[in-house]
Amino acid sequence: MSRIRGDRPTRQIPTRADTVRVPLWMLLLAVAGKGLWLAARWSFRHRIAVAVVVGLLLFTHRFGLVGLTALASGLAVVTVIWAWLHPRSCAWVGHWLWGRVRLTFVYRWR
């Protein structure tokens, strides 16, 4: 009389897999590598933000905090004069920039 399963051996009972021990240095290397990979991907995706931050760091390194304060104050004065002389174009750019900020931080793609 033939067997139902033929000549195949019976199935093994499912058991828990053995644990794998990974050295700490290998784990830290993997975590650091993943962090560098994610940082590289982020910096490639947000090239303009990285360029602005690097530019501000170079400017601060060259001129110090006084130079950075002067740059921010000068930008504020130019914006106030622009809003005083041409309020419609300044408002248009302000709305456009506010929309870009909202797209970046509020409605960002996940």
**Residue range 73-84, pLDDT digits in tens:** 999 999 999 999
pLDDT in tens, 41-67: 999 998 988 999 999 999 999 999 999
CB 37 within 8 Å of CB 29: no
Q: Would you give the end-to-end CA distance of the chain in angstroms? A: 62
Which of 15-19, 41-45, 100-104, 106-110 shows the highest mean pLDDT?
Answer: 41-45
Query: Which residues, in sequence order, are CB contacts of 84 under 8 Å at separation 6+?
Result: none
pTM for this entry: 0.54
The structure tokens listed for 86 are 């041409």
**Beta carbons of 56 and 64 less than 8 angstroms apart:** no
User: Are 51 and 63 contacting, i.e. CB atoms less than 8 angstroms apart?
Assistant: no
